[in-house]
């Protein structure tokens, strides 16, 4: 199962190819995507992305995970989150969201089992 292309990104809006939903923040993995609702795990800009935010993406088979920290990189990614991924044998890239989407799409186009979480505002 391939990772879906992120078709468009603008402030507060993301579209994933093959999905009719417009996301503000989203999770993407090989074979699917959904809204990334921070309330599910108590995520906030600080301390930032938690391992719990990434468990679903990992369980769905991502071998590389791209984290988009927002347009102005306001979303933090603590070392414990990066460590969680590395301990599970997963490559991780932490980037500003526009760069993260570019990198994610490039990996997906090469057939990498890539997943990600992307914050589309600040």
pLDDT value of position 113: 98
Look at residue 1 and tell me whether its pLDDT is greater than 90: no
- For the chain, domains (ranges, CATH) are 6-116 (3.40.1230.10)
116 and 27 Cβ atoms separated by less than 8 Å: yes
Which of helix, strand or coil describes residue 8? strand
pLDDT at 65: 98
The continuous run of DSSP H or E covering 56 comes out as helix 51-59
Q: Rounded distance, CA 31 to CA 57, Å?
A: 11
Read off the pLDDT band of 120 (50, 70, 90). very high
pTM here?
0.97
Nearest-angstrom CA–CA distance, 22 and 83: 31
Q: Identify the band that residue 95 occupies on the pLDDT scale cut at 50, 70 and 90.
A: very high
Query: Residue 83: what pLDDT?
Result: 97
The predicted pLDDT at position 51 comes to 98
Cβ(107)–Cβ(3) below 8 Å: yes
Cβ within 8 Å of residue 100, ≥6 positions away:
66, 67, 68, 69, 93, 94, 116, 118
Which residues, 6+ apart, have CB-to-CB distance to 101 below 8 Å?
6, 9, 14, 68, 118
């Amino acid at each position: 199962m391939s990772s879906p292309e992120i078709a468009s990104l603008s402030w507060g809006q993301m579209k994933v190819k093959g999905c009719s939903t417009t996301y503000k923040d989203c999770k993407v993995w090989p074979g699917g995507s959904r809204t990334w609702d921070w309330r599910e795990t108590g995520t906030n800009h600080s301390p930032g992305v938690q391992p719990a935010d990434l468990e679903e993406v990992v369980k769905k088979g991502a071998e590389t995970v791209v984290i988009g920290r927002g347009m102005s990189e306001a979303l933090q990614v603590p070392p414990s989150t990066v460590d969680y991924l590395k301990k599970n044998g997963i490559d991780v890239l932490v980037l500003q969201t526009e760069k993260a989407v570019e990198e994610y799409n490039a990996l997906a186009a090469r057939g990498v089992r890539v997943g990600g979480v992307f914050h589309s505002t600040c």
